[in-house]
Chain A
Amino acid sequence: MKKILTLVVMGASALMANLAHAQDFTIRWGTEPGYKPFTYKNAEGKLVGFDIDIGEAICAELKAKCVWVEQDWDGLIPALQARRFDGILASMSITEERSRVVDFTHPYYIETSQFVGPIDKKYSDAEALSDKTVGVLRGSTQVDFLAATRPDLTLKEYPTNEETWLDLIAGRIDLVFAGSIATELGFLVSDDGKPFELFGKSYSDPKYFGSGVGIAVRKTDNELRDKISKAILTIRDNGTYSKINDRYFSFDVWGK
């Protein structure tokens, strides 16, 4: 009897170890695919983009399986807390406000924000404009920045960036305030984006825009955070990062 029991226990613990092993090696990333070229869907409806490739490279580095979960932008942090996924890989800027509720890994790129408007209006200085209606992504750094510094502008908040472009084209809003790279490569290069341009200065005040773009994890997941940070630095060193970078950009988005 004792022998059988021992066998059962051994078998069970082996199984458990196996399960634990398998679980260790799945990372669930949450993303909001409305942010070309960082995270978006191609014509076949597949998730693609710089963020997605970085996520896959991190998984490859950690020998983990990647699972992608889609979520509207303003629901990303709550969904992370609710354990719907383990990390937010959606071009999220590392800000003080957000750092109070989630932890961030080492930044994996840096982006500045800029105003977008119709070319024929010949706007040049955003500071000189007032009484304009500006489209922004709900829950973004851009909202916080404009709400704090530009009370003269009317803000309209959208669930994804795609919808800000639609309403900019439709003329419901005068301007959009968004990340420069995503605006340039995700919108301005498309046919719909031709009549629009980025103008005025690039904003990057760390108080609002943070210190780069990172991956958010739950405050309790220190181990995962450190593993991912290490993986980011490793792929940066071994050239994987540059390969991914060159697929999307003609310059290095890493910054510095």
Chain B
Amino acid sequence: MDISLIVDNWQLFAEGLWNTVWLVSLSLLIGGLLALPLALAQAYQIPVWGRLSFWFSYSFRGTPLLVQLYLIYYGLGQFEFIRESFLWIFLREAYICALIAFSLNSAAYACEIIRGAICQVPQNLIETAHAIGMSDFQIMRRIVVPIAYRRSIFAYSNEVIFMLHGSVLASTITIIDLLGAGRKLNAKYYVTFEGFLTAALLYMAIVSLISLAFRMIEKKYSIER
């Protein structure tokens, strides 16, 4: 172990840390925004959209994130018509490709979590709401979704951590994320532990912060316990 290598290259790790943090945060945000309509479409069995949502989450949860990332990054780049279209302005950037893959993947998992929670909202609550004259939309907005969200918190904290760990794949498509920084250091000085261990410790630090944040959110919003 050569600590000075790590200290001398702190800027590399700072860059990696920053890239990992914003990439994961933005992916989770976009994924989370997509997840609710997807989950509702499935839980309420809305024609066509419900089926589409089912196949979307089925295919994104059924295939490895690495494959999704490679198909978007290297796969789409193979087609001349894509390279000549306006889409290429975005797709030529590795960051955008990673963001698309991570967001869709996260949306698929979050969708399943929320859908499960929606289905478990007690029937008697819904009946009571009906009895006092709420419309279906009001019930969804005021009863079902808030309860489902509060019940999803615990499961969703796992998804956030998995997304963070999954984000290391960004380093395979030229992005200097936290693992990418570790790999770069390892490759530059022909060492094994220095880069990986520093990256691992920083990932652990992020996970601790995520866990802490979720514990606070749970305390405030969780229904059970």
Contact = CB atoms under 8 A, between A and B. Distances in A.
Interface of A: 74, 77-78, 81-82, 97-98, 100-102, 138-139, 143-144, 156-159, 163, 166-167, 169-172
Given A74-B183, A97-B190, A157 B74 contact: no
B198 interface: no
A242 to B, nearest CB: 33
Interface string B64-96: 000000000010011000010000100010100
B192 A82 contact: yes
B172 A170 contact: no
B74 A78 contact: no
Interface residues of B, number: 17
Interface of B: 74, 77-78, 83, 88, 92, 94, 172, 174, 183-184, 186-188, 190-192
B-side interface mostly: helix
A152 B191 CA distance: 27
6 contacts: A98-B190, A139-B187, A139-B188, A157-B184, A166-B78, A172-B77
Nearest to B74: A166
Q: Which of A82, A143, A163 has the most CB of B within 10 A?
A: A163
B77 A170 contact: yes
Given A170-B83, A170-B92, A158 B190 contact: no
A74 B94 CA distance: 20
A254 B162 CA distance: 50
Contacts of A171: 83, 88, 92
B105 to A, nearest CB: 21
Contact of A172 (B94, B187, B190): B94
A179 B187 CA distance: 18
Nearest to A163: B74
Given A170-B78, A170-B92, A172-B92, A101 B174 contact: no
B77 A74 contact: no
A95 to B, nearest CB: 10
A101 B5 CA distance: 15
